[in-house]
Amino acid sequence: MRPHSVVIVLLAVLLVSCTETIIEQQIPKEFTNDLLHGDLVGRVRQKSSGAKVYVSQVGPIDSQAVNPTDGSFAFRELRIGNYDVTIRTDAYRIYQKANVQIQGGGVTYMGDINLSSVPDLVEKFYPEDNGEIVYDWRYGRIAISILFSHPMDRVSVEKAFATVPPSEGIFVWGSYTTSPLRTLYTDLASGAFDPGATITTFSRVTSMTYSMARKDSYVDTSYTVTMSTEAHDSGGVHLRFPLSFRFSTVQSYTTQFGIQTSPVHGDINVDPISNSGILVTFPRRMDPASTEAATTITPPMNKVFLWPDGNQMKIYTGGPFLSDTTMTVRIAGTARDKDGVPLVQDFQFWFRTAPLSVQYTSPMNAQLYIPVDQTIGVSFNSYVLLSSVPSSFSITPGAAGSFSFSGTSPYQNPAYVIFTPSAPLQANTKYTVTLSTGLVDMYGIAMRTPYTFSFVTRPN
């Protein structure tokens, strides 16, 4: 043998030896597959579902039922490549995962698979299962929406649909909402709606909203929505199992102890005249008797309780709030809701009212061309004591006149004082009006600082 032939043979032996060594290092000891095969394993959480797992490439390759003890499955020695995995069972949505890659000499782990309890024809629905929605019956109605994966037969869907408690409503096809309908009407063209289809022949509609009648829309209530297997798509394919989900309505945007108030806790310069009085909004409908008995106000004052809604308590204090005063409202934890559940913890908030002050005047400060027969009006932020006005009011140049509230009895406005001059004012003259701190409100609280304004009458 020639020397160069010997060298070639030795190189070939070395290459073969190195190749074998590399292959051995790529295969972990616990694997028995070669480089052309691998394992596929996973686990279905619904271990007692009787689910069956299929692997396929164009056509089926293999299948097996999950282990009823732990829900696991394992396909051994699959040839390398990409596979489609399908999991089927009667009471759960068909699970599909495409292009699962099997590598040689290894294990592909699909992890824990949680099968969906939503039927295959349903893409999503609103409200979500076990969700809570904020609903206030005064402003609209409850809406339930379903988006389908295929065009549906409307008659079969409406027959299969039901709620517990039972309700009446209308089905609006081609719409999907994610909130209660904040309108008295079922005009779904306005608002946050996904049309889902162009309404022509209704043959391709894949979304539906059920607008519940207001008489059946309740707060603090749990609803269960079902759609039986009677529902089918436009091709006659029925739901394999019923759709079922539940949701609850709550009447407040806040948590159990997130009581809302008006004025808000810590507010300052609150207008003493408030058409809402002191308004307290609870997260739940309350028992009026126990809630009123648990409510105190500091400093002490008259309290008249009104209930515009089951979860709203309005407190009227007998007139405007005290000016320039810190008012504290406390509701003891003994206040109970309609179910008899107490608040347990006390609730307290405070606000401070604005000092007695002028809101606006007529004529306005620095206004020109005022008629000489003009009356002078002053609006305050609270009711004033009319007898305190004459000694606190001065006008330069001087002018005699009388004082009264605006309007006629019994419709007078004690927050608006009118000065009526006894004779016409001088033409083309600057007048300055000053209100001193001697002016007091109906509770005897005086203005903190004087108020001055000026105007000019028009020439003859």
Whether 169 shows a pLDDT value over 80: the answer reads: yes
| Phi–psi pair at 205, nearest 5 degrees | -80, 130
Which of 100-109, 145-154, 192-201 has the least mean pLDDT? 192-201
pLDDT of residue 232: 94
For 336-359, write each residue's pLDDT tens digit: 998 898 988 999 999 999 999 999
The CATH number of 260-352 is which of 2.60.40.3710, 1.10.274.30, 3.30.360.10, 3.40.50.11890? Answer: 2.60.40.3710
Given pLDDT bands bounded at 50, 70 and 90, which one contains residue 275? confident
For 202-229, write each residue's pLDDT tens digit: 567 899 999 998 888 888 889 999 999 9
**Fold of the 37-113 domain:** Immunoglobulin-like (2.60.40)
- Write the CATH number of the domain with boundaries 358-457: 2.60.40.3710
Closest CA relative to residue 227, chosen from 321, 160, 298, 175: 160
Given pLDDT bands bounded at 50, 70 and 90, which one contains residue 139? low
Instruction: Note whether 37-113 and 358-457 share their fold.
Output: yes
More confident residue, 362 or 117: 362
- Amino acid in the structure at residue 209: T
- Write the CATH number of the domain with boundaries 122-250: 2.60.40.3710
Closest CA relative to residue 147, chosen from 122, 130, 172, 171: 122
CA 291/CA 278 separation, integer angstroms: 14
pLDDT of residue 190: 43
Closest CA relative to residue 436, chosen from 363, 359, 356: 356
Q: How far is residue 400 CA from its own chain's centroid?
A: 60
**CA quadruple 116, 117, 122, 127: dihedral, nearest 10:** -100
Given pLDDT bands bounded at 50, 70 and 90, which one contains residue 417? very high
CA 157/CA 119 separation, integer angstroms: 13
For 8-55, write each residue's pLDDT tens digit: 444 444 444 443 333 333 444 454 568 899 999 999 999 999 999 999
- What mean pLDDT is reported for the chain? 87
Torsion 94-99-105-107 (CA) sign: negative
Q: Where are the strands (E) in 267-383, listed by range?
A: 278-281, 295-298, 304-309, 312-316, 326-331, 347-352, 358-362, 367-370, 376-380
Domain ranges of the chain: 37-113, 122-250, 260-352, 358-457
Given pLDDT bands bounded at 50, 70 and 90, which one contains residue 192? very low
